[in-house]
Each structure stands twice: as C-alpha cells, then as structure tokens.
Chains A and B, each alone.
Chain A
Amino acid sequence: MKNQIDDNVLIDRFLDGDVKAFNILVEKYKRKIYLTAYRLLGNHEDASDITQEVIIKMYNELKNFRRESSIYTWLYRITANLSLNELKKRKIRNFFDFDEVEEWLFKDEKQSPELSYRENELSNKIQEALNKLPEKQKLVFTLRYYDGLSYEEISEILGTSVGALKANYFHAVNKLQKELKNVL
C-alpha cells in the first residue's frame, strides 16, 4: 500500500513537471520490465529495446493512467503487449526469411565470453524450453514464477480468470518438465 502511495506521489510530481520523479519511477521498475521482456523474448537486445519502448510509453501516457490499478500492473501490461507484438513480428519476419534473421536469432551466442556469467548450456536449454511454450503459457509462467505476481494480479493484467491462469501455469510446468527431463 505504501508503495502505491509513493508511486502516486511520484506520478503527481511528474505530471506537475518534475522530471526527477519520473526518473525515480523508472529506476524502480526498469529491472522488472527488462527481466520480464527477456523471459518473453529470450535475448538481451530485444529486452533492452522493449524496456526503452515501455519507458517512452510511460513518459507519454502517464497523464492518461487512470490509477484504477497499480502502476506496476499497468507497466506489466504494456511490457507484455509490446513483447507479444515483437513475437508476432518475429513470425512474420521468419516467413519473409531475410538474411538478418539468422544473425538476429543467434546474436546472443556471439556475445563476448566475459559478459556471460551463466552456465550457458543449462541456461540455453531453459530459455529454449521457455520459447517452445505457447505464448499465453509463457506469459503466465513468467509473471507467476519469475515476477512472483499473484494470480489475481495476473488476472488483472491479462483479463483472464484465475482458474484459467492456474491451468496455464500447470501446463507450462508440465511442458518444461518434459522438455528439460534429460538435462536436469
């Protein structure tokens, strides 16, 4: 509750012209936005792009934010929408089969070794398994497991019933278990 009050104060200050208040809001949420986008898209470059897009939307549209939900619910909704749109674009891009697609798909593998602290094989397998999930299941699993949101909060973001969300989560875990059975 305190968080929400703080956020509302920051929003009011920003709408009164205090840009610092906007920076504080962004600093507070950009990590969550970035990680959610990464989980949905599977690479750092797209996650950075989506985070920037969310920040721009936030800057332009905070004046229209009705405060019926908390700001982080609103930001998750924007992040989810933009990330899903990016996934749709990928489908179209894959159809057109441009040369850059291959480069784009494997760009994370080309990153310099000093940037990667992760145990690459397992990390890649997990991200691959996540990418194989249907979009809705991936989204629900990401918001529930990685972001730790309650089913009620996810329901507010996605406009889906709690029962359906639990079913999505169940199927997602089942599929991940099957996909990763041999590497765990």
Chain B
Amino acid sequence: MFKILRLEFLFNRWQLLTVLAIFTAYFAYMAYQIDSPRIFVVTMSIMIGLSMPFIILGREDKFKTAALMCSLPVRRTTIVLGKYAATWGAIGLGLGYALLFKAVFPFSKFAIGEILTARNFLVSLFLISLIVAVILPFTIRFGLTGIIILLVSGQLLGILALILTQALGGASNPMRFFFRAVKSGLQTLLTREAAPGFQLTLVAAIVAVNAASLFISRALYARRDL
C-alpha cells in the first residue's frame, strides 16, 4: 500500500501543491469573512472533501495510468487501499494547510483556538468521510465520468423525490426539506454536548463510513475492465 501511496504522491505532487496554492485565496477569503467557527469548519470540510479526491484520481483518466497500476505486481485491492490512503493524505495536507493559514492570517475574524477542538475535528472528518465515501467508489469504478454519473443520478433522484412528493400531495418542496434536515443535523453535531460518548460515536461513524466505502470500492475495482 505504501508503494501505491508513494506513486500517487510522485504522480500528483505538483497538482496538489497547485491546488493548495489556489486554495490560499479561498482560505484568505474564508478567514476574513467567516466569523462563525462552526460555519468555517463546515465550509472548509466540504471544500477539501470535494476537491482532494479529484487531485488523486483526476489525472488518471487523462493519462490512462490505471492500466499502468494494474499491470504492476500489486493486487487491485491493495491499489484501492492505496488510493484511499492517498486521498486521506491529501485531505490531511489540505486541512493542515488551511488551519496553519488561518492561524497566521492577520485578518482572521476569530482565533484559531476557537476551532481547534476535538469535536470540531471529528465533525470535520465525518463530513469529509461522507463526501469522500460517495465520490471515491464512483471514480474508482468509472473514472472521472463517475462524477458525471454521480451528479446526474443526484439530479435524477432529486427530480424523482420532487415528483413523488407532489404526487403524494405534499405541499412543501422536498429539496427545502432535505436542506433543512441537513442543516439541523449539522447544527446538532456542532453544538451538542461534546461528551465522550458522542465523540466515540463520531469516531465509529467515521470508521464505518470509510470501511463501507472501501469495501464497495474494492469490489467494484476488482471487476473493472481496463
């Protein structure tokens, strides 16, 4: 797995650095504008969760390096594990950089200490895990077109939900309902009493989400014809 990790790093390091450099502008904006630590955590997590998988997997389609990796003396399941590790490695770098930047940025609306809590950290990881757990299996199985598939199916699901709720006589917009549910969920996560039980549940959730995603990805990749 570490050889894969190293390969992914060697193949994508410049892209990673470029993205982080570009993110500097975003991080500056976020640090300057956002005065709520909780919103900062959520925004940062979503940003990093959505972008890092593409750094790792985005170039593969362009250069068809999947054929290369699957020709090397390594099992496909190990390759998948390596991709997950590489994605999380990139995420770690992204998070580290974001926090470091926030800490040194002179125009921050609030001090770095306000977000450096265990709970915030776990919530961030949980959000990122949710995002990554969905993106990775699709891209591992379908490449970048996997994202198109994902977005399209997302749209279709939304339309389906809309049709269903209209048909069932519900007056409210299902999208609004969905977003309200997400928002209240996030608020609960971020404001609820940070008891050890709560934190452990989060840890378990993070592990479970990643494990399930990894399991699915491995099964999908093993069957993929290159």
State yes or no: do A and B come from one complex. no
Instruction: Enumerate chain A interface residues (CB-CB to B < 8 A).
Output: none
